[in-house]
Amino acid sequence: MISRDALQDMFNEMRVRARWSIDGVCLWGYFFTDYSRERLLTAAPVLETMGFRVVGIRTPTTEDDDQHILTLHVEREEQHSIDSLDARNQELERFAAEFQLESYDGMDVGPVTRRDA
């Protein structure tokens, strides 16, 4: 579980270092791990019904310690405070447990970029 203190530190660092505002709407990526592609593929459409976009399932690279673990990456544009991100992390921890995934592996964040159609 990602502690609230760790989230506070992340927000503080991003406010200093990022060239965009972490306090606005951002592109948040969330990661789930498991040894079973089937379990991740079962979880993915449920996450889509929750408003997440499935980015894909990453296989291990040669730099990864565990050569058998797969990572499901989903994302969503949303605005978070420390408290709302803490609540989101708790929700996704429960989701991972409910779907018997190895772990909810945390999140990353970046600016929202628009692509021209």
pLDDT digits (tens, 9 = 90+) for 13-46: 999 999 999 999 999 999 999 999 999 999 999 9
**What does the pLDDT read at residue 113?**
86
Q: Tell me how far apart the alpha carbons of residues 7 and 86 are, in angstroms, rounded to a whole number.
A: 7
Q: Does residue 32 form part of some domain?
A: yes
Q: What is the CATH number of the domain that holds 96?
A: 3.30.70.970
- What's the CA angle centered on 60, arms 56 and 66, to 5 degrees? 130
Q: Does residue 115 form part of some domain?
A: no
Q: Does residue 63 form part of some domain?
A: yes
Kindly report the pTM of this predicted structure.
0.91
Q: Tell me how far apart the alpha carbons of residues 51 and 34 are, in angstroms, rounded to a whole number.
A: 21
CA dihedral over 94, 102, 26, 46, signed as positive or negative: negative
